[in-house]
Amino acid sequence: MKKIFSLAAAATLFLAGCGAATLEGENTAESGPVEEREASELVVGVSISTLNNPFFVSLDEGISDLASENGTEVKSVDAQNDTAKQTNDVDDLIQQGVDILLINPVDSSAITPAVESANAAGIPVITIDRSSDGGEVVTLVASDNTEGGEMAAEYIMEISGKDVVTVQLEGVPGASATRERGKGFMNIAEDSLDVVDSQTANFDRAEGLTVMENMLQANPEIKAVFAQNDEMALGAIEAIQSAGLTDSIQVVGFDGTEDGIKAVEEGKLSATVAQQPGEMGRLAMQAAYDYFAGETIEDYIASPLELVKK
C-alpha cells in the first residue's frame, strides 16, 4: 500500500522537476523518498461526510485548529452525506492541486474511485473515522469501533442483566464504522443478550426516532437499545419517551457528542462510547505533517475511546 503511493509521490517529484530536499524515513524505505515539506507550505484538502452532525463538526475543527497553529492552508468541503457529491468534491480538490487529502468517507465502498483518482494524481490520502474499501491510503485514523461495540454490549449486560431483550440501531450501510461497531456489539451480545431486531437508521436522529417507534410496536418487551451513534440514540429516546417507557428501557449510544454527553448527564441516555472527534482530526492532521517529514506512518492510528456514564 505504502509502496504504490510512494511511487506516485516520487513520480510527482520527477514531473515537478523541483529541487526540494527529500528524506529517507522508514515510511519511504520500501519504495523511495517522500518530498520534505514544512507544515506552512502545505495545502490540505479535507472532505467531511456531513457537517450536519456535531461529531463531524468537532472532527473538522480538530483539523482546522492544528492547521491554524502551524500556518497550514485547509480547503474543507461538506459532502452532506451524499456519496456522489463527495466524489465530485474530492475531484475538485484534486484539480485544485492540494498536497494531501484527508477524507472522512460517507461510504467506504463508494469512496474508492475518488481515492483511486487521488492515487493516480500522486496525492496521498488519509482516511478518518471510516476506511476506504479500495485505493491506496497512507493511514486510517479512527477509534477502535469493534472495541467500542463490545464496550456497549458489556455495559448493557452490566446495567440490564444477561439475556435482556435488546435492539440495535445501525448506521449507514456500507460504512466501516457501521460494520465494525455492529461486529463488536454482536461479539458480546450474541452470547449475552437477546437481540431481537437490528435495523439501519443511517446515523440520523430523525430516522432513529422512526425506526425505534416501529421496533417498539413490533417488540414491546424491549429493555435495552444499542444505537451506533448518539444521534440515533437521541432519536430512540424521543420514541421511548413518547411511548411512556423511559424508566424501563436503557439506551447506550456511541460517539460522545456534546448532545450525547448532555443526555447522559441529564439521565436520559444511559451511556455513550465516547470518541474524541477533535482529537481524531488533530491526529489526522499530525499524520499529514509526519508523512511530509518522512516519519514512519502506521497503517492504522487509534483515536482513544471512553465509556461515559452518569
Q: What is the value of pTM for the model shown?
A: 0.70
Domain covering 145-274, topology: Rossmann fold (3.40.50)
pLDDT band of residue 35 (cuts 50, 70, 90) is confident
Residue whose C-alpha cell reads 485505493 in the numeric block: 135
Q: What is the pLDDT of residue 309?
A: 95
**How far is 126 from 289, CA to CA, in rounded Å?**
11
pLDDT tens profile 230-258: 999 999 999 999 999 999 999 999 999 88
pLDDT for 29: 35
Does the fold of domain 145-274 match that of domain 39-143+277-304?
yes
Distance CA 76, CA 61 (A): 10
| pLDDT of residue 300 exceeding 80 | yes
Domain map of the chain by residue range?
39-143+277-304, 145-274
Report the pLDDT value the prediction gives residue 175, as an integer from 0 to 100: 86
pLDDT tens digits, one per residue of 182-220:
999 999 999 999 999 999 999 999 999 999 999 999 999
Burial 136-174 (b: 16+ CB within 10 A, else e): bbbbbbbbbbbbbbbbbbbbbbeebeeebbbbbbbbbeb
Q: Phi-psi bin for 45: left (phi > 0), alpha (psi -120 to 50), beta?
A: beta
In the CATH scheme, what is the homologous superfamily, with its name and number, of domain 39-143+277-304? Answer: Response regulator (3.40.50.2300)
Is the predicted pLDDT of residue 20 greater than 60, yes or no? no
Instruction: Report the C-alpha dihedral over residues 101, 49, 273, 206, rounded to 10 degrees.
Output: 180
- Please give the pLDDT value at position 68: 98
User: Residue holding cell 492544528?
Assistant: 66
